[in-house]
């Protein structure tokens, strides 16, 4: 490729670089403003959306409770209910 064409292409590439970077920064810069606006709007009009109110699953039976104790209590409840039903 002759020198002149390369030089003119280089000029063009240089201007593309300037314009391109300028535009990318402007675009994403505007997007920053956009995101901030979205945040402000969302904070100004809080939705009825219930944010993470689902309680963390309760730890089932703490590990140091003996299985026998659990079995005994279960049996006790069972008999209690049976008795209540009979009454």
19 part of the interface to another protein, by CB under 8 A: yes
Residues 55-84, interacting with another protein (CB under 8 A): none
| CA 31 to each of CA 13, 21, 44: distance values in angstroms, whole numbers, following the listed order | 26, 15, 20
The window from 9-17, 54-62, 63-71, 73-81 that contacts another protein (CB under 8 A) reads 9-17
Residues in the chain: 87
SS3 64: coil
Nearest CB to another protein, comparing residues 7 and 74: 7
Contacts of another protein in 26-55 (CB under 8 A): 27-32, 34-36, 38-39, 41-42, 47, 49, 51
Please tell me whether residue 46 adopts helix, strand or coil conformation: coil
The C-alpha atoms of residue 63 and residue 59 are separated, in whole angstroms, by 9
Do the Cβ atoms of 77 and 69 come closer than 8 Å? Answer: no
Please give the residue ranges that form the binding site for another protein (CB under 8 A): 1, 5-6, 9-10, 12-14, 16-17, 19-21, 23-25, 27-32, 34-36, 38-39, 41-42, 47, 49, 51
């Amino acid at each position: 490729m002759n020198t002149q064409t390369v030089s003119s292409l280089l000029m063009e590439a240089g201007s593309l670089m300037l314009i391109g970077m300028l535009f990318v920064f402007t675009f994403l810069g505007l997007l920053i403003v956009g995101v901030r606006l979205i945040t402000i709007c969302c904070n100004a009009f809080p939705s009825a959306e219930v944010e993470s109110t689902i309680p963390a699953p309760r730890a089932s039976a703490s590990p140091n409770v003996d299985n026998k104790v659990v079995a005994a209590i279960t049996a006790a409840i069972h008999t209690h209910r049976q008795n209540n039903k009979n009454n």
